[in-house]
Chains A and B, each alone.
Chain A
Amino acid sequence: NAGVTQTPKFQVLKTGQSMTLQCAQDMNHEYMSWYRQDPGMGLRLIHYSVGAGITDQGEVPNGYNVSRSTTEDFPLRLLSAAPSQTSVYFCATRRSGVTTGELFFGEGSRLTVL
């Protein structure tokens, strides 16, 4: 039982490149989300999903795309990376059928955009 798995753990991009951060979970959680954390700051919600085929925006969605084709996976796409997107990205999930309760976080993906 791996929980929440994020890949890659580290990535360096050049400005304008695209990439996808992967998030996979094996807990059958309906709710999945992406946060970013800039140095010395709290986490900010980018996008979230309450189930396959359903996504919604969080606080800072610009520059990011998401899709949810399966319960297990919730990839985050950067179409044209910018230095302002240098950050640590966390995926978080929550069990089904509740709007409250514990979020389970992955270990993070550290992205540097040059």
Chain B
Amino acid sequence: DAKTTQPPSMDCAEGRAANLPCNHSTISGNEYVYWYRQIHSQGPQYIIHGLKNNETNEMASLIITEDRKSSTLILPHATLRDTAVYYCIVSYGNKLVFGAGTILRVKS
């Protein structure tokens, strides 16, 4: 599975959009990009995933560059409850490998 690079931490003002970047320059053609988040020490929560097209659901949007070497997770209106560790994963098949993730702190 391809490795990902994420910034260790980011801050965001409450009510503003949070844009979390992820680099995955060695991604293979059949590998998907997944985003999960972990609040405190709870089990990770699925957010969104995509292959090459941009995706949107009720939680977030996923923007994948045309060359697929990077992606951005967008939380359109961040709230204090969005403070968490966000994991970007690229994978195809049965092994999802989690990196260290980005700590997102939403501040009032």
In the complex, which residues of chain A have a beta carbon less than 8 angstroms from the beta carbon of B41? 88, 108
Interface of A is mostly: strand
- Give the distance to chain B from A100, nearest Cβ to Cβ, in Å: 5
In the complex, which residues of chain B have a beta carbon less than 8 angstroms from the beta carbon of A76? none
Which stretch (B18-26, B60-68, B71-79, B88-96) binds chain A?
B88-96
- Give the distance to chain A from B90, nearest Cβ to Cβ, in Å: 11
Contact count band on A: 20 to 34
Contact A42 B49 (CB under 8 A): no
Contact A42 B101 (CB under 8 A): yes
Q: Of A41, A45, A90, which contacts B97 at CB under 8 A? A: A45
12 further interface pairs, Cβ-Cβ under 8 Å (given A108-B42, A108-B43):
A33-B94, A35-B98, A50-B94, A59-B97, A90-B43, A100-B49, A100-B92, A101-B49, A104-B46, A105-B43, A105-B45, A108-B41
